[in-house]
Chains A and B, each alone.
Chain A
Amino acid sequence: MSRADTFHWFARLLHWLMAAMILSMLFIGAGMVTSVESKYLWLVSIHKPLGIAVFVLALIRLGFRLTHPAPPLPADMPLWQKLAAHASHWLLYALMIGLPLIGWAMLSAGNYPVTLGGGLRLPPIVPADALLFAWLREAHRYLAWLFFLTFLAHMGAALMHGLIRRDGVLQSMTGGRRPERSDIA
């Protein structure tokens, strides 16, 4: 069931699953780096495997997106809004893939073992280099903030489509019924 005005069910599944995972990641990340309590170790042990899971799903999602075009935006949307929508979506893709990669590279540069729990360990992807670690660690922080800000804009815009414009854009991802349009046949 993939109508042309709605995202494919697989794209919607990935979107909502990853939305929950990414929001958890952002909150876990912000919480753990400001915690000295015992939950710190627990949060770090979730952050790493969850980040790698986001990375893998993001690659699958990117591949699916490139082969299954998104439903077109409403024709009457102002150009700047269309441009902002496209730019923010590609920025979100870049961050979904880039942020976990930077995290992985950052641990590699710090010469930390990249443990995912259950005895699973990833190989380093950059050489051990403390200066590179510092740059990657700072990049990880600032890009995470950018990710959260982009999420806020994305959520605000989605709600604006759903509550103010009522143009079917929000429904293209929720999969709900289009709003009643009996008066404009």
Chain B
Amino acid sequence: MTEKRQDPRPPAHAAGRWALIGLAVVGAAAVFGYVGGWLAPERLTPKRIINALQANGGDYPGFRRNHAKGICVTGRFESNGELAKYSTAAVFAPGSTPVVGRLAIPGGNPYAGDSSAPIRSFALRFDMADGEQWRTGMNAMTVFPVSDPKAFYELTVATHPDPSTGKPDPAKAGAFFKSHPESAAFLDWIKTAKPSASYVPETYRSINAFYLRDAQGERHAVRWMLVPDKGPEGDGGAAAGDTDYLAADLMKRLGQGPARWHLQMVFANPGDPVDDATKIWPDDRRTVDAGTLVIDAAEAQADGPCRDVNYDPTILPRGIEVSGDPLLAARSSAYADSYLRRTSEEAHVPGTARPKEAHP
């Protein structure tokens, strides 16, 4: 063994050797900076999408950056076993799975009037006995306005409220839709859409498609929807000027008994667009009733069990898989950013805004 020591001869081309070392270090840092987005400011990131949503909804630290106003619900899904031959997911075997859900309205303002948008949303987390989870975020609409995250971002920017009117500038929104013909089906739908007086009689849809994987390994492209069952009646809608009627209506109905929806799985025909949420599937597609969602309790979100849940629609049990719809990855990535923002605001992480007041 020879003892290690520095070679006393000066290295040949010493400047070149130092330059090589510098190049390796700076080069590695630059590639990392590019991959991490710091050297690629034009890239569409989850942060930019959430910034755009926040710019439209307003600054409400501690709240979700979209669908900020909502109410927690709990109950169970009673599977009838009909779907078990199409998916190995335990939730579809005959039996009952507890759920933690959230009914909400779109937009980033947790104090918005319930009529501010003609859309209601229903998010659910199914907690399977073995620890697996299925999370889904559904909307009471038939189709999505855009098919990819870039267009979603542009739509969000184009519908930024004009400071003078507090409403989106129709010229900007019009220009967006003119250059996005894929929005046609959505525009058709929204023409006749009205804010419903209750969360309960609405049909909620996954909008994005997924795959079910059966025991033979075959996959089946599906979209799902919650179709309301006849349940407790409301009292005919909100009083004039009431902007918070949805929560009150829900409480009143649940006071009389649970609200029920059928979970219906709609199967694509060969050739139906699977990866495009702007395309409606025809009404005659095979539909399997998987069972009944029973909601028996609701709680304000401030301390409710849905508050700390990120309803990321890509959290799926074995037996359900994402499709190639590019919106799914974007939803997952953007929801994660929103979730981190609101939880770090609640945790008072330095550099974050403080939640202003108690949640409604």
The verdict on A179 contacting chain B, using a C-beta distance below 8 Å, is yes
B133: which of A44, A113, A151 is its contact (CB, 8 Å)? A113
> Are A40 and B333 in touch, CB under 8 angstroms?
yes
Taking residues whose C-beta sits less than 8 angstroms from the other chain, chain B's interface range is 35 or more
> Are A36 and B45 in touch, CB under 8 angstroms?
yes
Chain A residues with Cβ below 8 Å from B334 are 36
> Are B14 and A164 in touch, CB under 8 angstroms?
yes
B11: which of A32, A39, A76, A163 is its contact (CB, 8 Å)? A163
**Which residues 291-306 of B sit at the A interface, judged by CB distance below 8 A?**
none
B131: which of A76, A121, A166 is its contact (CB, 8 Å)? A121
The verdict on B208 contacting chain A, using a C-beta distance below 8 Å, is no
> Are B315 and A113 in touch, CB under 8 angstroms?
yes
> Are B346 and A134 in touch, CB under 8 angstroms?
yes
Chain A residues with Cβ below 8 Å from B324 are 38
Expressed in whole angstroms, the minimum distance between the Cβ of B349 and any Cβ of chain A is 6
Expressed in whole angstroms, the minimum distance between the Cβ of B90 and any Cβ of chain A is 12
Chain B residues with Cβ below 8 Å from A119 are 318
> Are A35 and B45 in touch, CB under 8 angstroms?
yes
Q: Which of B22-30, B106-114, B233-241, B245-253 contacts A (4 or more CB under 8 A)?
A: B22-30
Contact with B along A3-14 (1 / 0, CB 8 A): 111000000000
> Are A155 and B24 in touch, CB under 8 angstroms?
yes
Expressed in whole angstroms, the minimum distance between the Cβ of A111 and any Cβ of chain B is 7
Residue of B nearest to A26 (CB): B32
A130 to B309, CA, bound (A): 9
**Which residues 101-158 of B sit at the A interface, judged by CB distance below 8 A?**
131-133, 149
Contact with A along B1-12 (1 / 0, CB 8 A): 111111111010
> Are A134 and B132 in touch, CB under 8 angstroms?
no
The verdict on A34 contacting chain B, using a C-beta distance below 8 Å, is yes
> Are A130 and B21 in touch, CB under 8 angstroms?
no
The verdict on A33 contacting chain B, using a C-beta distance below 8 Å, is yes
The verdict on B46 contacting chain A, using a C-beta distance below 8 Å, is yes
The verdict on A1 contacting chain B, using a C-beta distance below 8 Å, is no
The verdict on A84 contacting chain B, using a C-beta distance below 8 Å, is no
A29 to B14, CA, bound (A): 36
> Are B37 and A34 in touch, CB under 8 angstroms?
yes
> Are B28 and A152 in touch, CB under 8 angstroms?
yes
> Are B46 and A33 in touch, CB under 8 angstroms?
yes
**Which residues 20-49 of B sit at the A interface, judged by CB distance below 8 A?**
20-21, 24-25, 28-29, 31-32, 35-37, 43-47, 49
> Are B5 and A36 in touch, CB under 8 angstroms?
no
A131 to B344, CA, bound (A): 7
Chain B residues with Cβ below 8 Å from A128 are 308
A34: which of B25, B46, B132, B332 is its contact (CB, 8 Å)? B46
> Are A5 and B322 in touch, CB under 8 angstroms?
no
> Are B21 and A160 in touch, CB under 8 angstroms?
yes
> Are B347 and A169 in touch, CB under 8 angstroms?
no
> Are A34 and B45 in touch, CB under 8 angstroms?
yes
Chain B residues with Cβ below 8 Å from A38 are 324, 326, 328-329
The verdict on B310 contacting chain A, using a C-beta distance below 8 Å, is yes
Chain B residues with Cβ below 8 Å from A148 are 32
The verdict on A79 contacting chain B, using a C-beta distance below 8 Å, is no
> Are B1 and A130 in touch, CB under 8 angstroms?
no
A110: which of B9, B36, B46, B310 is its contact (CB, 8 Å)? B310
A167 to B35, CA, bound (A): 35
Contact with B along A105-117 (1 / 0, CB 8 A): 0000011110000
A135: which of B4, B7, B347 is its contact (CB, 8 Å)? B347
Chain B residues with Cβ below 8 Å from A4 are 1
Q: Given A35-B333, A36-B330, A134-B347: A167 and B7 within 8 A (CB)? A: yes
**Can you list 13 A-B contacts with CB-CB less than 8 angstroms, sorted by A residue number?**
A5-B1, A27-B32, A34-B37, A36-B44, A37-B326, A38-B329, A41-B329, A110-B343, A135-B347, A156-B21, A163-B11, A163-B20, A164-B17
* Partner-A contacts on B (CB < 8 A): 1-9, 11, 14, 17-18, 20-21, 24-25, 28-29, 31-32, 35-37, 43-47, 49, 131-133, 149, 307-310, 314-315, 318, 322, 324, 326, 328-330, 332-334, 336, 339-340, 343-344, 346-347, 349
* Partner-B contacts on A (CB < 8 A): 3-5, 26-27, 30-41, 44, 71-77, 110-113, 119, 121, 123, 128, 130-135, 137-138, 148, 151-152, 155-156, 159-160, 163-169, 172, 178-179, 181, 183-184
Return the 10 tightest CB-CB contacts between A and B, nearest first.
A30-B36, A34-B37, A130-B308, A166-B7, A134-B343, A134-B344, A134-B347, A74-B4, A131-B347, A36-B330
